[in-house]
Structure 1
Amino acid sequence: MVIPVHDVNPARRTPYVTYALIAANVLVFVFTPGIAGSVAGESGLAQLCHLQAFLERYAAVPQELIHHQMPRVVPTGDVGIGPQGAGCVVGPPGYEKSPPLSVFTSLFLHGSWLHLLGNMVFLLIFGNNIEDRMGRVRYTLFYVACGYAAAYGFAVLNDDSGDPLIGASGAIAGVLGAYLVLYPKARVWVLVPFLIFLPLRLPAWIVLGFWFVLQAVYSYGGGVSAAGTVAYAAHVVGFLAGVLLAWPLRPGTPPPPEPRGLLWGRRARPGR
């Protein structure tokens, strides 16, 4: 697995939409009920119950997306004592939920700080150039469309699943697919774990192509011990959606510039 840290592909304008998406994801994460304790390393039952209730209401659920049926009982956010001990209370939902709208809200939900950080790093590195190429309005619509394609694609493949689907991974996978189409020769600095983290500068088609192959393998349960904990199939569908939506823009995209005198994306000092 390689970890991208920077691309050598300057953008022409400030990526305000990408920055706004990152800020929105961080703010939603910070104010998600029950998430503060997980960031601090705590895992109290009350916090867990609050988090489950919040995700059940605002996350996308494959069963709901495909069958358009609300569950009869959902976590209420309260803690109760039963014959088997303390646990989260469930009861009839006291709210109306729109499954299509839940796909949009799920794009801003994350279950842990590591989940959030990984997604935002990829968005920060690759999103600026896609926004620069598409323009702010089209990029925003593209981002949301890839998120919807990823969620519904995953739901079709897992229509019996009642587990909440959260995270911006599907939409960001679309950004990666677009980047592969539009800037395949752009150089990307990555860290490769080999005893230590080795910095390498590789073409985007190698970095993103390798990432996509891994997601496809993982989606079939290969190479991981618990493939079901991550929606790898959503990554695959989102990536393919990004490729298809960005393909018409490919002929008009100039090759990425190759600035001289750059060290890790910054101008090197004279003599270095």
Structure 2
Amino acid sequence: MFPIRDHNPSGRRPYIVYTLMALNILAYAFYATTFTTDIELARLYDAYALIPAEIDASHRLSPLVSSLFLHGSFMHLAGNMLFLWIFGDNMEDEMGHLPFLAFYIVCGIGAGLIHVVSGPGSHVPTIGASGAIAGVMGGYLLLFPRARIDILLILVIYFRIFSIPAYLMLGVWLGLQFLGTLDTDPNTGGVAYWAHTGGFAVGLLITVPLWIKRGARAFWGQTHGQPPHPQANYTASRIPQFPRKKSPRSPWSKGN
């Protein structure tokens, strides 16, 4: 289950979202084609990835930002950019271009610091924009809890698109990240669940002053908890559905 779009395109062009997506894509294209051996990639990660033990020992903070523009695979990059595209445009529209950029970077730094605190002795390089994007999702939940999000549900050979409110989709996502923190050792690698959970909390908290400025609960009443733009009208999904076919009954089975 993963989101594919929301129903409220932004009211103005999200130039910062475009720029962040372009930087992430160009960075991945560059090092994926330039650094082709494990040794070269290790040197890249040693210089620019977030390594908690090195942050704790040297207090070199630049990897908290540079690691946000590195990804481990094309699917890692594609998933993060999809989430940034869905949730980032409305947040940029509501905050303004430069404030949204500052918000994104602060969320990424906050997520990285929480990851460091969760495993200060870890020597595992951590990369990806997901901590910053989790912050965007946290802010989105506070400002637009009832925005409609289309999710694609895949069950083996069954495909279907559902439209659900943002609070449900983001609540389930956050719950899964929190459960991951209970069953994952930051020192062994894998998904950085603490960065996701922490980034989400940082983004939500930083958005509180803007929410209050907009009127807090009154803002929800005015916008019905959705981005203040007309909803897009999407036609019925063309994703095929493949229900399980019943086996033809044997002429020797009971009832014949």
TM-score by length of 2: 0.82
Structure number with higher helix proportion: 2
Cα distance in 1 for residues equivalent to 2:180 and 2:141: 20
Match of 1:155 in 2: 116
Q: 1:259 deviation in Å?
A: 4.3
Instruction: Quickly say closer, same or farther: Cα 1:48–1:261, change in 2 above 3 A.
Output: closer
Cα distance in 1 for residues equivalent to 2:197 and 2:234: 33
Letter in 1 for 2:110: A
Confirm or deny that 1:59 pairs with 2:21: no
Is the 2:8–2:232 contact (alpha carbons within 8 Å) kept by the matching residues of 1?
no
Is the 1:109–1:167 contact (alpha carbons within 8 Å) kept by the matching residues of 2?
yes
Confirm or deny that 1:14 pairs with 2:13: yes
- Of 189, 193, 207, which residue of structure 2 is paired with 1:246? 207
Unaligned runs of 5+ in 1: 39-45, 70-98, 267-272
Is the 1:6–1:265 contact (alpha carbons within 8 Å) kept by the matching residues of 2?
no
- Of 214, 239, 243, which residue of structure 1 is paired with 2:176? 214
Map 1:8-87; keep pairs closer than 5 Å: 8-32=7-31, 35-36=32-33, 47-68=37-58
For the aligned residues, what is the CA RMSD?
Answer: 2.4
Match of 1:204 in 2: 166
Cα distance in 2 for residues equivalent to 1:265 and 1:3: 18
Letter in 1 for 2:44: F
Match of 1:169 in 2: 130
Cα distance in 1 for residues equivalent to 2:52 and 2:231: 49
Instruction: Quickly say closer, same or farther: Cα 1:11–1:261, change in 2 above 3 A.
Output: closer
Map 1:123-272; keep pairs closer than 5 Å: 123-195=84-156, 196-221=158-183, 228-251=189-212, 252=214, 253=219, 254-255=223-224, 256=226, 259=230, 262-263=233-234
Cα distance in 2 for residues equivalent to 1:212 and 1:165: 20
Cα distance in 1 for residues equivalent to 2:188 and 2:205: 26
- Secondary structure of 1:5's counterpart equals strand
Q: 1:157 deviation in Å?
A: 0.9
Structure number with higher strand proportion: 1
Is the 2:8–2:231 contact (alpha carbons within 8 Å) kept by the matching residues of 1?
no
Q: 1:261 deviation in Å?
A: 7.3
Match of 2:245 in 1: none
The Cα offsets for residues 139-173 of structure 1, whole Å up to 9 and x where unpaired, read as: 01100000000101000110010111111010000
Instruction: Quickly say closer, same or farther: Cα 1:9–1:164, change in 2 above 3 A.
Output: same
Is the 1:8–1:186 contact (alpha carbons within 8 Å) kept by the matching residues of 2?
yes
Instruction: Quickly say closer, same or farther: Cα 1:227–1:176, change in 2 above 3 A.
Output: farther
Instruction: Quickly say closer, same or farther: Cα 1:139–1:160, change in 2 above 3 A.
Output: same
Cα distance in 2 for residues equivalent to 1:207 and 1:214: 11
**4+ residue segments displaced more than 6 Å:** none
TM-score by length of 1: 0.77
Letter in 1 for 2:38: L
Q: 1:137 deviation in Å?
A: 1.0
Unaligned runs of 5+ in 2: 238-256
Cα distance in 2 for residues equivalent to 1:227 and 1:213: 22
Instruction: Quickly say closer, same or farther: Cα 1:258–1:163, change in 2 above 3 A.
Output: same
Q: 1:188 deviation in Å?
A: 0.4
Q: 1:36 deviation in Å?
A: 3.1
Instruction: Quickly say closer, same or farther: Cα 1:59–1:264, change in 2 above 3 A.
Output: farther
Q: 1:260 deviation in Å?
A: 6.5
- Secondary structure of 1:199's counterpart equals strand
